[in-house]
Amino acid sequence: MCPAERESPQPGSARAARVRGNPSQEKPPGPAELRARAARAVDAVRRRRLALDEVLGAGTPPLVRELAFGTCRRYFSLRGAVDARLSHPLRDRDQDIYALLLVGLYQLRHLRVPDHAAVSETVGATRVLGKPWARGLVNGVLRRAAEAPADTASEEERWEHPRWLIEALRTAWPDLCPELFDANNGRAPMALRVNRTKHGVPAYRALLDAAGLAHRSGIPPASLVLETPVPAARLPGYDAGWVAVQDEAAQLAATLLPLAPEARVLDACAAPGGKAFGMLEADPSIAVTALDASANRLQRLHGEANRLGHRLAGVITGDATDTKWWDGTLFDAILLDAPCSGTGTLRRHPDIKVSRSPADVERAADLQRAMLASLWGVLSSGGTLLYCTCSVLPEENDAVLEDFLAVTPDAASAPIHASWGRSTDHGRIVLPSPGGPDGFYFARLAKGPAA
């Protein structure tokens, strides 16, 4: 997060009350207001390239989240249908109305909302947006769209991906498209990580059974996957720290570092802490230092550590590309979950399909190379660095490793042998699949004596 970015008010603070007002005195938002809020969120993704998670807070009404996330998930077919029914493009200052049209059409095509209600409340949202002149436009476009069958003439509309990403995925995984497109357009399952310092996995499974929460075993040893997602508060012992919500693939990272008892471990780009806590749950004797550039995200890490009952050796706000924060003592192992395009998590973050571009992939790869080069210097000889991303694009994965190995004589690939995923030139990758884990890449690097 940019250091200049203003912090969000904390729940329960006086400032938060000034921002939100007193919840007990606030009138619940009406249907038109909910649709206007969703349109503003989609507009922020389209024009300001913000993530929906940035725009929508934790207290966002479920309908607003469904409308905003669903519209981004089906953005390309919705855009094609709206454009075909507009006589001319809307002005830049009226792009919120364009976003409202997308939201309205999403309801008509993908939600069980009666057509008349979807159209009426979306038309009403024009007043909430301060543009009552658009009532007739919104009414006409939505009614015409509702009467016509969905048209998916272009590949973007058919696969609900931008052209550049369709081409990138076809190049990387020619034998898996269109299955990969379909998986990306689905909804992600809810996976849990049992906190084995408090409960064994069989015992926690019994608690889920008693609560009527159907589930299956995940790939990692402490992972369970619910058949139907539920609010975290419904999970047995959630407040007591018996369990955490974490995707199966993300949990794998904690299983891939060979750690001796009491090993000194750096989790770079650590927030919100799931991988660090997974390592501590596997072996509480290790000393994990969490590093992240975002102080706000590290606040979440502190809260999760308290809930789960974990103690970290250190928590550092710092830049992984500049080791000024380092105390001079080498680490036995490093986990680098590098910032990336997020193309393995489109089910959870469909806004990525709308806001990202090839230039973002290039920038991410440059940052990843810089992080690897910097962190290698704080790893002890004989140590291991696990590089991982939630990208499925080779430009951020094997290509980054190839470049790093070419200029780092004391680095060598350490193969990952596993029954899950696919082997790549320098690592192993999990690709999204219906009901399965997110897309994730892992590569293990061993550090030898200095050349």
- State how many domains the chain has: 3
Same domain, 218 and 301: no
Last residue of a domain, one of 182, 216, 245: 245
Provide the pLDDT for residue 450.
72
Same domain, 289 and 270: yes
Provide the pLDDT for residue 282.
96
Assign residue 33 the CATH number of its domain.
1.10.940.10
Assign residue 213 the CATH number of its domain.
3.30.70.1170
Provide the pLDDT for residue 146.
83
Residue 231 lies in a domain: yes
Provide the pLDDT for residue 7.
32
pLDDT range class, residue 4, cuts 50, 70, 90: very low
Q: Looking at 269, 340, 388, 390, which residue is catalytic?
A: 390
341 pLDDT exceeds 50? yes
Last residue of a domain, one of 227, 245, 263: 245
Provide the pLDDT for residue 44.
98
Same domain, 266 and 370: yes
Provide the pLDDT for residue 25.
53
Evaluate whether 279 touches 267 at the Cβ level (below 8 Å). yes
Distance between CA atoms of residues 288 and 266, nearest Å: 6
Same domain, 314 and 422: yes
15 pLDDT exceeds 70? no
The 10 Å CB-count burial string (b at 16+, else e) for 229-246 is eeeeeebbebeebbbbeb
pTM over 0.85: yes
Q: How many CB atoms lie within 10 A of CB 2?
A: 7
Same domain, 375 and 442: yes
Q: What share of the chain is helix, strand, coil (3-state, %, to 5)?
A: 45, 15, 40
When pLDDT is averaged across residues 384-413 and rounded to a whole number, the result is 98
In 173-322, alpha helices (H): 179-184, 201-210, 248-252, 274-282, 295-308
> Alpha-carbon torsion 268, 282, 435, 398, what sign?
positive
Provide the pLDDT for residue 152.
65
Among all chains, which residue has been given the structure tokens 């991303």? 389
Same domain, 213 and 264: no
With 0-12 / 13-18 / 19 or more C-beta atoms within 10 angstroms meaning exposed / middle / buried, residue 410 is middle
The pLDDT tens digits of the residues spanning 177-232 come to 999 999 999 999 999 999 999 999 999 999 999 999 999 999 999 999 999 999 99
Same domain, 148 and 204: no
Residue 185 lies in a domain: no
Assign residue 406 the CATH number of its domain.
3.40.50.150
Same domain, 270 and 410: yes
pLDDT range class, residue 26, cuts 50, 70, 90: low
Residue 260 lies in a domain: yes
Residue 276 lies in a domain: yes
Same domain, 145 and 202: no
Q: Which of 7-16, 85-94, 343-352 has the lowest mean pLDDT?
A: 7-16
Fill in the amino acid letter for 108.
Answer: L
Same domain, 240 and 253: no
Domain of 204, in residue numbers: 190-245
Active site residue 2: no
Query: Which has more pLDDT, 84 or 27?
Result: 84
Same domain, 72 and 93: yes
The pLDDT tens digits of the residues spanning 283-337 come to 999 999 999 999 999 999 999 999 999 999 999 999 999 999 999 999 999 999 9
Share of the chain above pLDDT 90, in %: 90
Same domain, 275 and 131: no
Average pLDDT, the chain: 93
Residue 369 lies in a domain: yes
Residue 162 lies in a domain: no
When pLDDT is averaged across residues 239-254 and rounded to a whole number, the result is 97
250 pLDDT exceeds 90? yes
429 pLDDT exceeds 70? yes
Evaluate whether 103 touches 69 at the Cβ level (below 8 Å). no
